[in-house]
Amino acid sequence: MVLEQKKKSFEKLLKRNISTIIYRKIKDPRIGFVTITRIGLSNDLHSAKVYVSVLGTKEEQEKSMKGLYSATNFIKTELVSELKNCRFIPAISFCYDHELEKVHQVMIKIENLSRENKDR
Protein backbone atom coordinates (compact mmCIF):
# COMPACT_ATOMS: atom_id res chain seq x y z
CA MET A 1 0.00 0.00 0.00
CA VAL A 2 2.76 2.44 0.93
CA LEU A 3 4.71 1.49 -2.20
CA GLU A 4 1.65 2.21 -4.36
CA GLN A 5 1.28 5.66 -2.75
CA LYS A 6 4.94 6.43 -3.38
CA LYS A 7 4.53 5.31 -6.98
CA LYS A 8 1.53 7.64 -7.43
CA SER A 9 3.46 10.52 -5.85
CA PHE A 10 6.40 9.89 -8.18
CA GLU A 11 4.04 9.80 -11.19
CA LYS A 12 2.60 13.18 -10.17
CA LEU A 13 6.10 14.61 -9.70
CA LEU A 14 7.18 13.38 -13.12
CA LYS A 15 4.01 14.68 -14.76
CA ARG A 16 4.46 18.15 -13.27
CA ASN A 17 8.15 18.36 -14.14
CA ILE A 18 7.84 16.98 -17.66
CA SER A 19 4.97 19.40 -18.36
CA THR A 20 7.09 22.32 -17.17
CA ILE A 21 10.03 21.22 -19.32
CA ILE A 22 7.83 20.89 -22.41
CA TYR A 23 6.18 24.28 -21.97
CA ARG A 24 9.12 26.33 -20.76
CA LYS A 25 12.31 24.80 -22.07
CA ILE A 26 11.63 23.06 -25.37
CA LYS A 27 11.64 25.39 -28.38
CA ASP A 28 10.80 22.81 -31.04
CA PRO A 29 8.19 24.39 -33.36
CA ARG A 30 6.77 20.95 -34.18
CA ILE A 31 5.43 20.56 -30.67
CA GLY A 32 1.98 22.10 -30.53
CA PHE A 33 -0.58 22.11 -27.76
CA VAL A 34 0.40 18.99 -25.83
CA THR A 35 -1.21 17.86 -22.58
CA ILE A 36 0.21 15.10 -20.45
CA THR A 37 -2.81 13.06 -19.45
CA ARG A 38 -1.09 10.49 -17.25
CA ILE A 39 2.16 8.74 -16.47
CA GLY A 40 2.43 4.96 -16.39
CA LEU A 41 5.38 3.85 -14.25
CA SER A 42 6.65 0.31 -14.31
CA ASN A 43 6.58 -1.56 -11.01
CA ASP A 44 10.35 -1.24 -10.64
CA LEU A 45 10.08 2.52 -11.41
CA HIS A 46 12.77 2.26 -14.09
CA SER A 47 10.57 3.13 -17.06
CA ALA A 48 7.71 5.55 -17.54
CA LYS A 49 5.21 5.88 -20.35
CA VAL A 50 4.15 9.49 -20.73
CA TYR A 51 0.65 9.55 -22.21
CA VAL A 52 -0.14 12.74 -24.11
CA SER A 53 -3.06 14.30 -25.86
CA VAL A 54 -2.39 16.70 -28.73
CA LEU A 55 -4.88 19.21 -30.10
CA GLY A 56 -4.95 19.74 -33.82
CA THR A 57 -5.20 17.86 -37.07
CA LYS A 58 -3.72 14.39 -37.55
CA GLU A 59 -0.73 16.03 -39.24
CA GLU A 60 -0.20 18.43 -36.31
CA GLN A 61 -0.52 15.55 -33.86
CA GLU A 62 2.09 13.53 -35.75
CA LYS A 63 4.47 16.52 -35.84
CA SER A 64 4.05 17.06 -32.11
CA MET A 65 4.75 13.41 -31.36
CA LYS A 66 7.88 13.48 -33.54
CA GLY A 67 9.02 16.60 -31.70
CA LEU A 68 8.47 14.89 -28.35
CA TYR A 69 10.37 11.79 -29.50
CA SER A 70 13.26 14.04 -30.56
CA ALA A 71 13.22 15.85 -27.21
CA THR A 72 13.20 12.71 -25.06
CA ASN A 73 16.92 12.82 -24.21
CA PHE A 74 16.75 16.55 -23.46
CA ILE A 75 13.75 16.01 -21.17
CA LYS A 76 15.55 13.18 -19.35
CA THR A 77 18.63 15.39 -18.87
CA GLU A 78 16.46 18.19 -17.49
CA LEU A 79 14.71 15.76 -15.13
CA VAL A 80 18.08 14.62 -13.80
CA SER A 81 19.03 18.21 -12.97
CA GLU A 82 15.62 19.09 -11.49
CA LEU A 83 15.10 15.94 -9.45
CA LYS A 84 18.50 15.78 -7.76
CA ASN A 85 17.11 14.03 -4.68
CA CYS A 86 15.94 11.03 -6.68
CA ARG A 87 18.22 8.01 -6.85
CA PHE A 88 17.45 7.52 -10.52
CA ILE A 89 15.20 8.90 -13.25
CA PRO A 90 13.15 6.38 -15.24
CA ALA A 91 13.58 5.96 -18.97
CA ILE A 92 10.70 7.85 -20.57
CA SER A 93 8.75 7.16 -23.72
CA PHE A 94 5.87 9.13 -25.16
CA CYS A 95 2.59 7.52 -26.18
CA TYR A 96 -0.43 9.13 -27.76
CA ASP A 97 -3.40 8.76 -25.39
CA HIS A 98 -6.44 7.58 -27.35
CA GLU A 99 -8.69 7.63 -24.28
CA LEU A 100 -9.86 11.21 -24.88
CA GLU A 101 -10.90 10.35 -28.42
CA LYS A 102 -12.87 7.37 -27.12
CA VAL A 103 -14.59 9.54 -24.50
CA HIS A 104 -15.40 12.12 -27.17
CA GLN A 105 -16.94 9.44 -29.43
CA VAL A 106 -19.05 8.11 -26.54
CA MET A 107 -20.26 11.64 -25.76
CA ILE A 108 -21.28 12.14 -29.40
CA LYS A 109 -23.21 8.84 -29.34
CA ILE A 110 -24.97 9.85 -26.12
CA GLU A 111 -25.86 13.23 -27.61
CA ASN A 112 -27.23 11.57 -30.77
CA LEU A 113 -29.32 9.13 -28.70
CA SER A 114 -30.63 12.02 -26.64
CA ARG A 115 -31.69 13.85 -29.80
CA GLU A 116 -33.40 10.74 -31.14
CA ASN A 117 -35.37 10.35 -27.91
CA LYS A 118 -36.47 14.00 -28.05
CA ASP A 119 -37.65 13.55 -31.63
CA ARG A 120 -39.94 10.66 -30.62
Q: Which domain holds residue 49?
A: 2-119
Looking at residue 78, which CATH number applies to its domain?
3.30.300.20
Instruction: Pick the closest to residue 31 from 56, 3, 1, 5 (CA basis).
Output: 56
- Domains contained in the chain, number: 1
DSSP string, 35-67: EEEEEEE-TTSSEEEEEEEE-S-HHHHHHHHHH
β-strand pairing of 34-41 with 47-54: antiparallel
pLDDT at position 2 over 90: no
The amino acid present at 3, given as its one-letter code, is L
Question: What is the model's pLDDT at position 119?
Answer: 75
The amino acid present at 33, given as its one-letter code, is F
CA 74 to each of CA 44, 52, 68, 70: distance values in angstroms, whole numbers, following the listed order: 23, 17, 10, 8
pLDDT in tens, 74-111: 999 999 999 888 888 999 999 999 887 777 788 888 88
Question: What is the model's pLDDT at position 23?
Answer: 94
